Amino acid sequence: MLQFNLSIKLNYQNPKTSKYFNMKVNNFLKNNLDINFIGLDRGERNLVYLVLTDQKKNIKYQVSLNKILNVDYHALLDNKEENRNKQRKEWNNIEVIKDLKKGYMSKIVHVICKFMIDNNAIIVLEDLNIRFKEKRYKFEKQVYQLLETALIKKLNYLAFKNYNPSEPGGILNAYQLTNKFEGNNKMKQNGFIFYVPAQYTTSIDITTGFVDFLKPKYKNREESKTFFSKFNSIKYNKIENYFEFSFDYNNFTTKAEGTKTKWTVCTYGKERYYYNPSNKSAQKINITEELKTLFENENIEFNPGNDLKEIIQNSNNSKFFNSLTKLLNITLQMRYTCKDDDRDFILSPVKNKKGEFFFTENSDDSLPKNADANGAYCIALKGLWCLQQINKTDDLQNVNLYISTKEWLKFVQDNCDKLICEYAKNNYQESVV
C-alpha cells in the first residue's frame, strides 16, 4: 500500500501578522454584551484555579483544577516529586515526570477550551515575564509556560470529536481562536487570550481596593519613630476589640497617587499566620492580643479613644519598635497560608461599605473562596478592563491593553460596591470537572 502525504496550511490567504488577527477578534468583541471572562491563576497550591465571570463582575463559577475527572494530579505530581528527590539523594535512576505533566496538560486544556466555548468567554492569563518563569522551574510541577503554550496551540485549531463534523467546532469546521505561538512575552493579546499584569491580583481586598503600599520593615529605632509618627492616629477599639491604624498614603509614599489614599487598618480576626524562620513553618498569631501584651510590657495604656501615636514616640526601646513593626507587617500581609492546616486565605484589615472585613473563609459563592480564587477573579476583572478599552476605541488594530497599577486600583475602588454582588451559578461546569 502506498501513502501520499500532503501538508496543508490553514488560512493561507490571510495576512501573517498577529495584529490583523487580533483586529478581527476585537471587532467581534467590541460592544458584545454576551462575552464572559475566564481568569486562570497558576501556582503551587493549585496547579490552576479557574474563575468565570460576566461583564457585571458576577462570579458565575470558581473551581480548582487540581482534579480532573476525579484524578488528583496535584497529589500525583507531589508524590512524583518526592520520589525524584529521594532518588537524587540515593543516586538512583530518576523517574520521568514530563509524561505525567503532559497527561495533565492535555486534560486541563480540553476542560478550559470547553468552558470557553460553552460560556462564550475569553481567557485571561497573567503576563509572566521570562525571568519569573525561570524562577519557577525549581518547582517541578510548575505549569506556567506549559499551559500558555498548550492553550495557544489548541486554540489554533479547536475541534471537538463529539460535534457533527460540519458544524462549528467540528473537525471539518474548527474554531481558530488564536494566532500561532511565537513565544513573544511582550504581547498583550493573542486572539481570544489576553495577558494582564500580575501585580496586585491576589493580595488585594476586592471589596475595597486596598493593597499594602506601606511594607513596614524595621531598620532602627529612630526610623521606626519617624515611621509611626506619620500615622494620623493609632487607637484601641474596645467595642470591636481590635487596634486601628489610620493613615494617609501620601505621608508615606507616592505609589497611591491618583487612587484612594486614606485608610484605617484594623487588627480584626482571631488568627493569622507568619513564617517562623527558627522552625521553618507557619505559626498562628492573634495580632490584637500580641499588641496588648506588647503595650502592657512597655507600660503603654491603650484606653478606648486614646491616641497611642504620641505615647509610642516616647519609647526608646528598640525591641518594642521591632515587634510593633513586625505585627503591623503581618496585619497588612492579607494572604495567609499554612500547609499543615491546609489553609490559604485572604483576610483584609480594612472594613468595606457593608461594615465587614473581606475574609475568603467566610465568603459565600458571590466572592472568592480562597487566595487563589481571589487571584483568578482579579485576573478575570483585568480582562473586563481590556474589553472596556476595546469598546472605547475605533482603532481596533492598536488597542492599548496595558493596565497600570493606578488604573487597576481605580477600577476596583470605583466599582467596589458592584463587586459585592449576587451569585449567578452556571450548572454546566460541574459535569465537566
Q: What is the pLDDT of residue 427?
A: 37
pLDDT confidence bin for 422, thresholds 50/70/90: very low
Q: What is the pLDDT of residue 144?
A: 64
Sign of CA dihedral 24, 117, 98, 280: positive
> In this structure, are 32 and 174 located in the same domain?
yes
Helix or strand or coil: residue 11?
A: coil
Q: How far is CA 264 from CA 186, 211, 212, 215, in A?
A: 38, 12, 12, 15
- pLDDT, tens digit, for every residue of 66-118? 999 888 888 888 777 666 665 565 566 555 567 778 888 889 999 999 999 99
C-alpha cell at 134: 525561570
Q: How many domains does the chain have?
A: 2
The helix, strand and coil proportions of the chain, stated in percent and rounded to the nearest 5, come to 35, 20, 45
> In this structure, are 86 and 183 located in the same domain?
yes
Q: Which of 138-152, 294-308, 417-431 has the highest mean pLDDT?
A: 294-308
Q: How far apart are CA 143 and CA 36, in angstroms?
A: 24
pLDDT confidence bin for 425, thresholds 50/70/90: very low
- pLDDT, tens digit, for every residue of 126-179? 987 654 555 444 444 456 678 888 999 999 999 999 999 999 999 999 999 998
Q: What is the pLDDT of residue 139?
A: 42
What is the residue type of 63?
V
pLDDT confidence bin for 10, thresholds 50/70/90: low
* 432 close to 111: Cβ distance less than 8 angstroms: yes
Mean pLDDT along residues 217-241? 96
Q: Please say if the pLDDT value at position 426 is more than 70.
A: no
Higher-pLDDT residue of 418, 231: 231
Q: What is the pLDDT of residue 132?
A: 52
Of all residues in the chain, the percent with pLDDT exceeding 70 is: 85
> In this structure, are 150 and 246 located in the same domain?
no
Q: From start to end of 90-208, where are the E strands?
A: 121-126, 189-190, 193-196
Torsion of CA 285, 291, 296, 302, to 10 degrees: -140
Q: Please say if the pLDDT value at position 432 is more than 50.
A: no
pLDDT confidence bin for 1, thresholds 50/70/90: confident
Higher-pLDDT residue of 145, 229: 229
> In this structure, are 45 and 173 located in the same domain?
yes
In terms of phi and psi (left: phi > 0; alpha: psi -120 to 50; beta: otherwise), the region of 143 is alpha
Inside any domain, residue 351: no
Question: Buried (b) or exposed (e) across 330-349, using 16+ Cβ within 10 A?
Answer: bbbbbbbbbeeeebbbbbbb
Inside any domain, residue 7: no
> In this structure, are 177 and 252 located in the same domain?
no
> In this structure, are 154 and 280 located in the same domain?
no
- pLDDT, tens digit, for every residue of 338-378? 988 989 999 999 999 999 999 999 988 899 999 999 999 99
| Domain coverage including residue 278 | 221-333
> Is residue 60 classed exposed, middle or buried when 0-12, 13-18 and 19+ CB atoms within 10 A define those classes?
buried
Closest CA to 374 of 60, 37, 43, 51: 51
Q: What is the pLDDT of residue 79?
A: 76
* 336 close to 330: Cβ distance less than 8 angstroms: no
Higher-pLDDT residue of 317, 3: 317
> Is residue 277 classed exposed, middle or buried when 0-12, 13-18 and 19+ CB atoms within 10 A define those classes?
exposed
Sign of CA dihedral 367, 370, 376, 379: positive
Q: What is the pLDDT of residue 394?
A: 93
Q: What is the pLDDT of residue 362?
A: 92
Q: What is the pLDDT of residue 15?
A: 59
> In this structure, are 322 and 375 located in the same domain?
no
Mean pLDDT along residues 322-328? 98
Q: Please say if the pLDDT value at position 193 is more than 90.
A: yes
- pLDDT, tens digit, for every residue of 170-190? 999 999 999 887 765 567 999
> In this structure, are 197 and 227 located in the same domain?
no
* 86 close to 96: Cβ distance less than 8 angstroms: no
Inside any domain, residue 356: no
Please tell me whether the overall predicted TM-score, pTM, comes out greater than 0.95 for this model: no
> In this structure, are 53 and 152 located in the same domain?
yes
> In this structure, are 148 and 188 located in the same domain?
yes
Q: How far apart are CA 242 and CA 267, in angstroms?
A: 5
pLDDT averaged over every residue in the chain: 87
